[in-house]
Amino acid sequence: MNRTRPAPRLTPYLWVATTALIGLLLSGGAYYYTQKLEEARLRAHFAYLVHDRVLRSQNHLDQALQVLTSAQGLFDATEQVTRKEFELMVAPALARHPEIMAINWAPRVLGAEREQFEHDLRTQGKGGLGICDVTPDASQARKAGERPEYFPVLFSEPSARNHAAIGMDPYADPENRAAMNTAMRKGIQWSTPPFAIVQAPHGPLAVAIYQPVYRRNMPVSTPDARQAALRGFLILLLRPGPSLEAAVFRPTPIDLHARLLDPNHRQPLIHQFSSRLPDATIQPGETLHGDYSLALPGRNWILQVTATRGFRNRAGSNEPMTVLLAGLSLSGLICLLVWMRSRQTLQQKKIEFALFESESRFRQLADNLDTVFWINTPDWQHVLYISPAYERIWGRSAESLYQRGMDWFDAVLEEDRPAILERLPDTAGADWQTIEFPPYRIRRPDGGIRWISARAFPIRDEQGRVNRVAGIAEDISERQSHQQHLEEMAHYDPLTHLPNRLLLADRMHLALAHSRRTGQLLAVCMLDLDGFKPVNDKFGHEIGDQLLIEVARRLLGGVRGGDTVARLGGDEFVILLGALNNVKEMEEALTRLLQVVALPYALVDQPINISASVGVTIYPSDSSDADTLLRHADHAMYLAKQAGKNRYHQFNPVLEERARDNRAVLGLIGNAVENNQLRLFYQPIVDCRRGLVIGMEALLRWDHPILGLMEPAEFLPLVDGDDDLARSVGAWILRNAIQQADDWRQAGLDVPVSVNTFVQQLRDARFPELVRDLLAQHPDLPASRLSIEILENTALDDFTSVTRLIRICSSLGVRFALDDFGTGFSSLAYLRRLPVDTLKIDQSFVGDMLQNPDDLAIVESVIGLGAAFRRQVIAEGVESADHVLMLMEMGCYRVQGYGIAKPMPAEEVLAWTYNFQPDPRWHEHANLRLSRDDFQLVLAEVNHRHWLTSLQNWMRQPPDQRNPPPPLNEHECNFGHWYYGEGASRYGHMPEFRTAEALHEQVHRLEQKLVRQTEAGEVALSRETATELMTRSESFRDTLIKIRSAVKHIDAGQ
């Protein structure tokens, strides 16, 4: 047998050039791919931000439109609506929606009724021109021409800035007329294109939304019937630009440029607002751009949003360039290694082959063995000797092996070849000893499969260089078959032949390591069949087993080759989806698997239909160990079943950690109930008119053994989220409050106790029975001594159920109060139908009523609603004697707050009650109060307080950051508008009123002087002027009090 020379090799330069070219191509490909990923990430981030802002914008518009629906209820409830009733109705909405320019009422006035209507307007001191139109540029008004009918504005709120709109007829404008006709004939709200308004012709554009109001008891089923029944229009004037700008930019500053468009209008641009952050310009051809629809009645606007340069600068990353540089650096290093390796190989090509005498002796021994013995060259390309056992085991000719040294390798199964090649040494000079090849399989020419165990060892010359490679190979098919059977039993499910729990643990270990190494996502999924048990019970276990086998087959067919499907037992499967680049790939895979499992199974005469519920957790977002990941996936799977089955649910580790902390705190609160750590403090409710304590409100505290006494805000929000604990704590409060009321009664203090309720109690059909049982334990305590307080929002959320519960408990004698009234959005219809005894004004309005005109208006509105619907009114949050006196002037005599007493333990209540002494000034105000028509006198004082506070705040500002001061002219402040308008017409005959004018002018002269001194830096002079200004203000307020005292009337009682 002749030796052959090693095959020629590529030159080192060609190897280096080839390696460099491949490195450049791979680096460029990685750069391009990373750049695409970065652009996709920016686009997703942009879409998330814009979608959030669009939802906020639509929500702003929808909330503003709800005002029209609520106001319509007022007109549907009564035939004649007064200006004051209209003002009271819309005042809360205007306080919550500053973007609303005006809410108007425009009645229908026929041509024959025009003269009487204009006469009535002038009698009221409104609309000097009578019914008038507006010029196209909204710069001035003109008397309306003769028409068959008019729709002049009769009421407009807020009146202070919309008095110029009284008498205006929007029907004269073609666009308004088209919107009004559409709204009237369809019976729905309809909006106009953007336009300038007469109140501010040069300000931002506004839109008008028209709400038709029809006469009661008249048919409105057809357009003609609605036209005949038309009573007028409620008009909402809204400036969408500033409102949407607040929704887009104020939550957090973002690098976006936005334009609000009306595509169906001749001038489509409504408003434009840009980012206030640096780099707010837009680069040409910007792809981060989108148009988003905003719906208005009868119109659709477009919100165009574009990313600025600042968005890309702040949200982008340098990852693509980093990848490119890293790839080029790695390519250079590999080229250097290839160069060195090629040089070494060229030097070893000249090694001579020897040892022929030794080989012949080995041949004699090998010919008589059942084991294959072979000798080949160090490059494994030429076989020098092969024993006869090769032909018996491989079934191939030895001659073909001599001609092509790797012919034996062609018989190795494809999937086993990489493991063999991995063990082969690269060159003859490699420093290697014996090679143990992993067992591999060969396919004989007759199709038979044999398992082979082989090892190789080097034969070295005197210099220690490898000049031959020898080895042996033996047939281990029988041994391997036995070993495979044992492994199959240990690692695979005997029914479905899927990996069992033991093999799954190994697969999870490998999958987690791969995820940590590559940074890709791993989805651990727990799948449970829906409806498997009924199939098993109906058709038997044999059909159930066949169904499990078919499900396993479908699952294997629905995943990729590198994924794992395992069976834990019963109808539970675990699926490992590895090498995921994003969550979307996981979602697509699970959706596909759910669809596959849900297909009918033709195992019996009739198709079997089942589905699956899947719980999934994603590593490394959920960075737990393997066992915990499986538990999390199992937990998510049960949530999927609870949500309706045939779906998947993703585990959220952040929410789980928060829920775990909350559960721990809820457990402590539950222990607090059992260990009697909860305490009830009581705050008195007094009747200032009679100077008596008329009730106590029970307020919960937690006497924590370590943290001490805790306020309800520190733990009640958690209780609200747990139904069972909320009912338990609520029952504890009721039980102890009733017990305390009975104890006080026996001690001589017979007053009602007010108790706050949880929403879970109001939804519990057993709540009335609980109240009845607790009252029955105290038969001598009248049921009227228990007052249950319900939050306004809670009552509106489930109006029917709450109303039913109140009526049942009221039949026992229990009284009810609507707590925090004014913070919700109760309509008059709901308030009229809700059977509560008392309205409690929210303390946020009462606390600021002396300084905030809007809060004062809300308080006065609630007092008026209480009187109109014959409900008692209690003001919460009273902090001072001034609060009490002003509330008494407005007709509210029942108060509660720190200005009366702080909440106190039950054991201190009796002593406080016996020592309670009413303020002497209460008696002076007990029988006198202002009529609602004189409320503007109270508002005038608060407006002046607000103006004075604004001036003081202006003086405290740094000189370089000062805003314009409050109005300097006495005619321009809120008090001036009222004094020279409505005030003069009502109180101008009174001497005190004229005295107030002189004092008001003096106050403004001093303000002008103070502003000049402050801006000039004259500190000492400005302090003297400020002192004099405060003195004049006190005199001014005293004069207002005298005017109010002069017009008060005797109050017969509330």
Q: Report the CATH number that the domain containing residue 518 is assigned in CATH.
A: 3.30.70.270
pLDDT of residue 365: 65
Kindly tell me if the per-residue pLDDT of 700 is higher than 50.
Answer: yes
Establish if 81 belongs to a structural domain: no
Assign residue 1021 the CATH number of its domain. 1.20.120
pLDDT of residue 352: 53
CB 256 within 8 A of CB 248: yes
Q: Is 527 found in the same domain as 378?
A: no
Angle at 360 between CA 354 and CA 364, to 5 degrees: 155
The residue ranking higher by pLDDT, 555 or 434, is 555
Least confident of 254-268, 659-673, 729-743, 860-874: 659-673
CB 814 within 8 A of CB 783: yes
Q: How many domains does the chain have?
A: 6
Q: Is 827 found in the same domain as 705?
A: yes
Query: For 630-651, what is the mean pLDDT?
Result: 90
pLDDT of residue 159: 82
Assign residue 457 the CATH number of its domain. 3.30.450.20
Least confident of 97-106, 149-158, 580-589, 823-832: 823-832
pLDDT of residue 954: 82
Q: Given 221, 238, 255, which residue is the final one in a domain?
A: 238
The Cα 753–Cα 742 span in angstroms is: 10
Phi, psi of 132 (to 5 degrees): -140, 165
pLDDT of residue 774: 92
pLDDT of residue 250: 64
CB 192 within 8 A of CB 174: no
Establish if 698 belongs to a structural domain: yes
Kindly tell me if the per-residue pLDDT of 976 is higher than 70.
Answer: yes
Instruction: Enumerate the H helices of 890-990 as residue ranges.
Output: 906-915, 920-924, 935-956, 974-978, 984-987
Kindly tell me if the per-residue pLDDT of 1 is higher than 50.
Answer: no
**CA atoms within 13 A of residue 299's CA, in its CB half-sphere:** 25
pLDDT of residue 329: 85
Kindly tell me if the per-residue pLDDT of 133 is higher than 80.
Answer: yes
Assign residue 180 the CATH number of its domain. 3.30.450.350
Q: Is 676 found in the same domain as 612?
A: no
Cβ-based burial of 846 (10 A; exposed 0-12, middle 13-18, buried ≥19): buried
CB 206 within 8 A of CB 101: yes
The Cα 178–Cα 171 span in angstroms is: 8
Establish if 219 belongs to a structural domain: yes
CB 97 within 8 A of CB 221: no
pLDDT of residue 137: 66
Q: 3-state SS string over 345-376?
A: HHHHCCCCCCCHHHHHHHHHHHCCCCCEEEEE
How many helices (H) and strands (E) the chain has is answered by 38, 36
CB 852 within 8 A of CB 817: no
- Which are the contacts of 415, defined by CB distance < 8 A and separation ≥ 6? none
pLDDT of residue 2: 46
Identify the band that residue 797 occupies on the pLDDT scale cut at 50, 70 and 90: low
Q: Is 892 found in the same domain as 836?
A: yes
**CA atoms within 13 A of residue 557's CA, in its CB half-sphere:** 10
Establish if 66 belongs to a structural domain: no
pLDDT of residue 793: 67
Beta strands in 731-850 (DSSP E): 753-756, 786-791, 815-821, 838-841
Percent over 90 (pLDDT), the chain: 22
Establish if 295 belongs to a structural domain: no
Q: Given 238, 256, 290, which residue is the final one in a domain?
A: 238
Q: Is 608 found in the same domain as 678?
A: no
Q: What is the pLDDT of residues 215-234, one digit of tens each?
A: 888 888 899 888 888 999 99
Kindly tell me if the per-residue pLDDT of 518 is higher than 60.
Answer: yes
pLDDT of residue 345: 74
CB 61 within 8 A of CB 837: no
The residue ranking higher by pLDDT, 821 or 442, is 442
Identify the band that residue 363 occupies on the pLDDT scale cut at 50, 70 and 90: low
Q: Highest mean pLDDT: which of 282-296, 308-322, 626-640?
A: 626-640
Establish if 277 belongs to a structural domain: no
C-alpha 827 chain-centroid distance:
27
> DSSP readout, 17-30?
HHHHHHHHHHHHHH
Query: For 693-704, what is the mean pLDDT?
Result: 90
Establish if 289 belongs to a structural domain: no
Check residue 522 and give left, alpha or beta (phi > 0: left; psi -120 to 50: alpha): beta
Identify the band that residue 553 occupies on the pLDDT scale cut at 50, 70 and 90: very high
Q: Is 542 found in the same domain as 571?
A: yes
pLDDT of residue 384: 84
CB 878 within 8 A of CB 899: yes
The residue ranking higher by pLDDT, 796 or 1004, is 1004
Identify the band that residue 1054 occupies on the pLDDT scale cut at 50, 70 and 90: very low
Kindly tell me if the per-residue pLDDT of 967 is higher than 50.
Answer: yes
Kindly tell me if the per-residue pLDDT of 487 is higher than 80.
Answer: no
Query: For 946-958, what is the mean pLDDT?
Result: 80
Q: What is the pLDDT of residues 491-503, one digit of tens each?
A: 888 899 899 998 9
H or E element: which one contains 576? strand 572-580
The Cα 736–Cα 679 span in angstroms is: 9
Query: For 1017-1038, what is the mean pLDDT?
Result: 81
Which amino acid, one-letter code, is at 574? V
pLDDT of residue 910: 93
Query: For 502-530, what is the mean pLDDT?
Result: 93
Percent over 70 (pLDDT), the chain: 89
Average pLDDT, the chain: 83
Kindly tell me if the per-residue pLDDT of 801 is higher than 90.
Answer: no
> What's the sign of the alpha-carbon dihedral 28, 31, 37, 38?
negative
C-alpha 629 chain-centroid distance:
27
Local structure of 167: helix, strand or coil: coil
Q: Is 511 found in the same domain as 400?
A: no
CB 701 within 8 A of CB 682: no
Phi, psi of 959 (to 5 degrees): -55, -35
pLDDT of residue 107: 94
Local structure of 46: helix, strand or coil: helix
Q: What is the pLDDT of residues 721-740, one digit of tens each?
A: 777 888 888 899 999 999 99
The Cα 469–Cα 459 span in angstroms is: 6
Q: Is 1010 found in the same domain as 876?
A: no
Identify the band that residue 6 occupies on the pLDDT scale cut at 50, 70 and 90: very low
Identify the band that residue 1053 occupies on the pLDDT scale cut at 50, 70 and 90: low
Query: For 85-95, what is the mean pLDDT?
Result: 84
Q: Is 385 found in the same domain as 507?
A: no
pLDDT of residue 913: 92
pLDDT of residue 823: 61
The Cα 13–Cα 731 span in angstroms is: 88
**CA atoms within 13 A of residue 915's CA, in its CB half-sphere:** 7
Q: Is 405 found in the same domain as 324?
A: no
- The per-residue b/e assignment along 13-51, b for 16 or more CB within 10 angstroms, e otherwise, is eebbeebbeebeeebeeebeebeeebeeebeeebeebbe
Q: Is 714 found in the same domain as 671?
A: yes
Kindly tell me if the per-residue pLDDT of 664 is higher than 80.
Answer: no
Kindly tell me if the per-residue pLDDT of 8 is higher than 60.
Answer: no
Query: For 278-305, what is the mean pLDDT?
Result: 83
Identify the band that residue 550 occupies on the pLDDT scale cut at 50, 70 and 90: very high
Establish if 260 belongs to a structural domain: no
Cβ-defined contacts of 123-128 (< 8 Å, 24+): 124/83, 125/981, 125/982, 125/985, 126/163, 126/166, 126/167, 127/152, 127/166, 127/167, 128/167
Kindly tell me if the per-residue pLDDT of 357 is higher than 90.
Answer: no
> DSSP readout, 268-327?
-EEEEE---SS-----TT---EEEEEEEETTEEEEEEEEE-HHHHHHH--SHHHHHHHHH
- The per-residue b/e assignment along 551-577, b for 16 or more CB within 10 angstroms, e otherwise, is bbebbbebbeeebbbbbbeebebbbbb
The Cα 808–Cα 246 span in angstroms is: 46
Query: For 401-428, what is the mean pLDDT?
Result: 81
Query: For 579-598, what is the mean pLDDT?
Result: 93
Which amino acid, one-letter code, is at 40? A
Q: Is 326 found in the same domain as 373?
A: no
Identify the band that residue 7 occupies on the pLDDT scale cut at 50, 70 and 90: very low
pTM given for the model: 0.43
pLDDT of residue 829: 57
Identify the band that residue 575 occupies on the pLDDT scale cut at 50, 70 and 90: very high
The residue ranking higher by pLDDT, 82 or 525, is 525
Query: For 1011-1017, what is the mean pLDDT?
Result: 80
pLDDT of residue 660: 65
Q: Given 306, 330, 348, which residue is the final one in a domain?
A: 348
Q: Which domain holds residue 327?
A: 12-49+319-348
Identify the band that residue 763 occupies on the pLDDT scale cut at 50, 70 and 90: confident
Kindly tell me if the per-residue pLDDT of 74 is higher than 60.
Answer: yes
